[in-house]
Structure 1
Amino acid sequence: MTSPLVRIRGLEKRFDLSGGLLEQIKFEGGRFRRKQEAVHAINGVDLDVNRGEALCVVGESGCGKSTVARTVMGLLSPSAGEIEYDGNRIDHLEGKDVLPYRRKMQMIFQNPYASLNPRMTIQQTLEEPIRFHHPDWSPMQIRDKIHEVMHSVGIDPDWGSRFGHEFSGGQRQRIAIARALAVDPEFIVADEPISALDVSIQAQVLNLLMDAQESRGLTYLFITHDLAVVEHFGTRVAVMYLGRVCELADTQTLFATPRHPYTQALLSAIPKLEDDRPNHIRLQGEVPTPVNLPSGCVFHGRCPYANDRCRQEIPELIATDGGARVACHAVEEGRL
């Protein structure tokens, strides 16, 4: 077994809601008390991203998948845990120490209307990362590289003098992909890169990402909530719920035999044309707030198989016979 390209262990991220010290002090029961609150966005995530694969992270809005992506890229600092790239820990690096990894790791953002600088032409947008990471390159080398990446994503190099607002959403996302590819990265985090696009354009952008993966040997961490995209694009799938990974399996196994109750409910919601009487699993109750996390399994309040152990003990990801890893006491005990 080769070591994973990206290794995440015990990752946690909390966003403080308490404000300053004076705002934290409350007068309750005749005494002054200091009350601190935080959003627990990620709660002990363990993931390995292997070379050449497309690991898809799925889950409903607010489950922490985009926070995982931004923390891996260093846009957010983790509250706890470790992130390794190619065997080297990177979550604590600062300044010049992190620069080599900035070139190897690139990100494609969700909204192409916001991720491009409106004051810069496309030529300037693509030039900037190349000049930063290759200060010794000549203007001719930079121009040739820009033309190469623009051709690779289906953009006419003559468009370089135009600004971002002159393009459609699909064209802007192609430019954003070209910007990520301009420095020849090994690893790309794609945070819902097609969710802001028309359905007719989504397939084109998705095929472009797959072609780039094949031709350049890229590794993807792909964040999405579209399960149809996952089935088409993903090598493996990690299902998240309220900041924790509840199931991890290869794509075919997950869609054929989902084991976790939340994964089963999630996949049952996919509309099927040939299904006369769809067998939707309707979950009861509300999603708990990430400010006050429930004890034990975070899904126990909506799970029909929950017992006292589920309410008290946090389940760990365990390997199953089918090769999947599931964080569920019911699966471990054979009740499901």
Structure 2
Amino acid sequence: MATPLIQISGLEKSFSTNESWLGQWCFRQGKLARHKDSVHALNGVNLTINQGETLCVVGETGCGKSTLARAIMGLTQPTAGEIHYLDQRIDQLNDRQRMFFRRRMQMVFQNPYASLNPRMTVYQTLSEPIAFHQPQLSRIEIDEKIETLLASVGISASSSDSYPHEFSGGQRQRISLARALSVEPDFIVADEPLSALDVSVQAQVLNLMIDKQAERNLSYLFITHDLAVVEHFATRVAVMYLGRVCELAPTKELFSSPKHPYTRALLSAIPRLDSTTAQPIRLIGEVPTPIEKPIGCVFQARCPHANQRCYEELPKMLLQSDSSSVACHAIEEGRI
């Protein structure tokens, strides 16, 4: 029986459209009327991440993937809902209270060129979190740990006094992963860590993450657009659309038998060498704006199976098997 590590229930996040400094200045000067519109990035997300598994979150740009990652890590405060690490609620903790969980939960960011401090050497980047979270270690023990970390991610220990600009993008992402591993976490959020890398380098970093998961029983929340990576790396897959999870299933089941119309459209776009007849599903209609939250199904405007109920009632996540669920009225009513 899988042990839940992260539990997310009813998570919502809205951003005010008046939060920019320019909008606030214009409002104060009387040059712009204040609007009450908000961007609804997350709309009731429910997820469980088990110990030792990789949950991949996929969906088009703007569906709320990165906001979900930042909310879990405490980098943005949710508007509503709860996030639990084991049995401890963590979404309401302040920075001081969250310090214990900073060691247990780490993040690898998308851009390896921006996620490392350009004024710090590799040694300084890795020694700072180690010294902070493990103050009992001596300088010699820290040096040995850094040498072991660098070797484990394929970076020479002789490069520890080098700065980020002296490394390639793949090497920087390896250093970012070493930094995340330096405090021996249980859970790592990886927000599109491969998107800025060449294909050959992507494979190296991905294999490195797989090896570290096997060694340390790590849990990953892995955010990506690359469905080929998902098929190779994920234990389970959550498909998001406009701030909601529309389908959640084990990887093999999702790729062999997708249920939700949006999931089917996503998977149909993957090039297959063994397929000569299947054509990509072309979605018709405009992508709805996150400023206006739909009353019914979030996919209603582009779904070929939508009926009146889809425009009026929000679909609930319904179990399709012991480990998969989907939110779709058409599936519930047997129309597809």
| Aligned match of 1:208 | 208
Deviation digits for residues 2-46 of structure 1 (CA, Å, limit 9, x no counterpart):
54100000001111113459839999xxxxx96301110010000
Matched, 1:152 2:152: yes
Alpha-carbon distance in 2 for matches of 1:276, 1:162: 50
Specify the alignment match of 1:6 in structure 2: 6
Q: 2:55 matched to 1:51?
A: no
Letter matched to residue 77 of structure 1: Q
Distance 1:11 1:39 in 2: 15
Deviates more, 1:299-308 or 1:12-21: 12-21
How many residues were matched structurally? 331
1:306-329 deviations in Å (ceiling 9; x for gaps): 011100111111101474200001
Question: Identity across aligned pairs (percent)?
Answer: 60
Task: State the alpha-carbon separation in 2 of the partners of residues 57 and 297 from structure 1.
Answer: 19
CA distance in 1, matches of 2:157, 2:78: 39
Report the Cα distance in structure 2 between the residues aligned to 1:302 and 1:95, rounded to whole angstroms.
41
Q: What do the CA deviations read for 1:205-231 (whole angstroms, capped 9, x no partner)?
A: 000000000001100000011000000
Task: Give me the whole-angstrom Cα distance separating, in 1, the residues matched to 2:322 and 2:78.
Answer: 32
Q: CA RMSD in A?
A: 1.8
Q: Which residue of 2 aligns with 1:176?
A: 176
1:84 aligns with 84
Q: Does residue 225 of structure 2 align to residue 221 of structure 1? A: no
Q: Distance in 2 between matches of 1:323 and 1:96?
A: 37
Distance in 2, matches of 1:335 and 1:3, equals: 35
C-alpha distance in 2, partners of 1:12/1:240? Answer: 13
Instruction: Output the amino acid matched with 2:27.
Output: E
Q: Partner residue of 1:309?
A: 309
Please report the TM-score for the alignment, with normalisation by the length of structure 2.
0.95
- Give the Cα separation in 2 of the matches to 1:126 and 1:90: 26
Counterparts of 1:6-25 in structure 2, within 5 Å, are 6-19=6-19, 20=24, 23=27
Is the 8 Å Cα contact of residues 24 and 35 (structure 1) preserved in structure 2? no
| Deviation at residue 248 of structure 1 after TM alignment | 0.1
Deviates most, 33-42 or 84-93: 33-42
- Counterparts of 2:208 and 2:315, CA distance in 1: 38
Shift of 1:131: 1.3
Work out the CA distance in 2 between the residues paired with 1:45 and 1:107: 20
Q: Could you say if the C-alpha distance between residues 26 and 3 of structure 1 is closer, same or farther in structure 2, counting changes exceeding 3 Å? A: farther
Aligned counterpart, 1:232: 232
| CA distance in 2: counterparts of 1:165 and 1:154, whole angstroms | 18
Amino acid at match of 1:16: S
Structure 2: runs of 5+ lacking an equivalent: none
Instruction: State the secondary structure of the residue aligned to 1:84.
Output: strand
Q: Which amino acid aligns with 1:132?
A: F
Q: Corresponding residue for 1:255? A: 255
Q: TM-score scaled to structure 1, two decimals?
A: 0.95
Is the 8 Å Cα contact of residues 73 and 107 (structure 1) preserved in structure 2? yes
1:326 maps to a residue whose letter is V
SS at match of 1:56: strand
Q: Quick one: structure 1 residues 229 and 24, their matched pair in 2 at CA, closer, same or farther if it must change by over 3 Å? A: farther
Greater than 2 Å deviation, 4+ residue runs: 18-27, 273-278
Q: Which residue of 2 aligns with 1:319?
A: 319
Counterpart in the other structure of 1:69: 69
Distance in 2 separating the partners of 1:247 and 1:195: 23
Matches within 5 A, 1:286-305: 286-305=286-305
Deviation string, structure 1 residues 57-79 (Cα, Å, up to 9, x no partner): 00011110111011100011101
C-alpha distance in structure 2 between counterparts of 1:21 and 1:82, whole Å: 34
Q: What residue is the counterpart of 2:123 in the other structure?
A: 123
Give the drift of 1:134: 1.4
Kindly state the Cα deviation for residue 92 of structure 1 after the two structures are TM-superposed.
0.5
Residue number in structure 1 paired with 2:188 = 188
C-alpha change, 1:3 and 1:87, in structure 2 (3 Å) is farther
The 2-side partners of 1:130 and 1:167 are apart by 22
The answer (yes or no) to whether the contact 1:26–1:34 under 8 Å persists in 2 is no
